[in-house]
Amino acid sequence: MRRRILLSTVWSAAVAGAIAAGSPEAQAQEQAQGEDRIQRLERIILEQQKRLVEQDKRLKELEERKPAPRARAPEPPPTTVQPFLEGTSALFKAMSEAGLSELRGAALPVYRVQLPDGTNLLVPATAVSALFAQAPPPRDPGFEVEPERPGVTPPPRRPPPRAAPPRPPPQARPAQPPPPAPTTPPAADDERAKAQKAQDQALLERGAILLRPGTLQIEPGFEFSKFSGNNVQISGVSIFDAIIIGFIRVDAFDRDVLTGTLRVRYGVINRVQVDGTVPYVYRRDNEVLGVGTPNVTNRTIDGNGIGDLEFGMSGQPIIGRGWVPNVLVRVFGRAPTGESAFQIPTVIIGAGNETRLTRSPRGNGFWAAGGTVTAVLPIDPVVLFAGVGYTVNFPRTWGGFGRIDPGDAFEFFAGLNFALNERVSFNFSFVQSRTSPTTRDGSRLINTAATDGRVILGTSVGLTRNINLVMNAGIGLTPAAPNFTFFVAVPITFQLFD
pLDDT score, position 143:
44
Report percent pLDDT > 90 for the chain: 39
Three-state DSSP at 403 gives strand
CA–CA distance, 29 with 45 (Å, rounded to integer):
24
Task: Write the burial class of residue 16 (CB in 10 Å: 0-12 exposed, 13-18 middle, 19+ buried).
Answer: buried
CA–CA distance, 111 with 109 (Å, rounded to integer):
7
Q: Is the pLDDT of residue 194 over 50?
A: no
Q: How confident is the model at residue 260 (pLDDT cuts 50, 70, 90)?
A: very high
pLDDT score, position 498:
74
Averaged pLDDT score across all residues of the chain: 75
pLDDT score, position 310:
96
pLDDT score, position 451:
93
8 Å CB contact between 402 and 441: yes
CA–CA distance, 217 with 200 (Å, rounded to integer):
13
pLDDT digits (tens, 9 = 90+) for 110-147: 666 666 666 666 666 666 666 666 555 544 444 444 44
8 Å CB contact between 194 and 425: no
Q: Is the pLDDT of residue 483 over 70?
A: yes
Query: The sheet that has 396-398: what strands, in order across it?
Result: 396-398, 402-405, 439-440, 443-444
Greatest Cα pair distance in the chain:
188
pTM for the whole structure: 0.58
pLDDT digits (tens, 9 = 90+) for 422-432: 889 999 999 99
pLDDT score, position 423:
87
Q: Detail the DSSP E strand segments found in 270-381.
A: 272-291, 297-306, 309-318, 326-335, 346-349, 354-357, 368-379
pLDDT score, position 241:
45
Q: Is the dihedral of CA 234, 240, 242, 243 positive or negative?
A: negative
CA–CA distance, 458 with 461 (Å, rounded to integer):
10
pLDDT score, position 32:
72
CA–CA distance, 354 with 333 (Å, rounded to integer):
35
Q: How confident is the model at residue 249 (pLDDT cuts 50, 70, 90)?
A: low
Q: How confident is the model at residue 43 (pLDDT cuts 50, 70, 90)?
A: confident
Q: Is the pLDDT of residue 288 over 80?
A: yes
Q: Comparing 225 with 54, which gets the higher pLDDT?
A: 225
CA–CA distance, 497 with 173 (Å, rounded to integer):
46
pLDDT score, position 54:
85
Report percent pLDDT > 70 for the chain: 62
pLDDT score, position 39:
79
CA–CA distance, 82 with 90 (Å, rounded to integer):
12
Q: Is the pLDDT of residue 3 over 80?
A: no
pLDDT score, position 328:
94
pLDDT score, position 137:
53
Which residue type, as a one-letter code, is found at position 394? F
CA distances from 495 to 195, 196, 214, 216 (A): 18, 15, 6, 6
8 Å CB contact between 114 and 71: no
Q: How confident is the model at residue 481 (pLDDT cuts 50, 70, 90)?
A: very high
213 Cβ contact list (under 8 Å, min separation 6): 267, 268, 269, 270
Q: Is the pLDDT of residue 478 over 80?
A: yes
CA–CA distance, 341 with 359 (Å, rounded to integer):
9
pLDDT digits (tens, 9 = 90+) for 147-184: 444 444 545 555 555 555 556 555 545 445 555 544 44
Please give the DSSP secondary-structure letter assigned to residue 75: P
pLDDT score, position 490:
95
pLDDT score, position 125:
63
CA–CA distance, 248 with 214 (Å, rounded to integer):
63
| Domains of the chain in sequence order | 2-65+79-147 (no CATH), 189-495 (2.40.160.40)
Of 221, 246, 220, 219, the C-alpha closest to 232 is 246
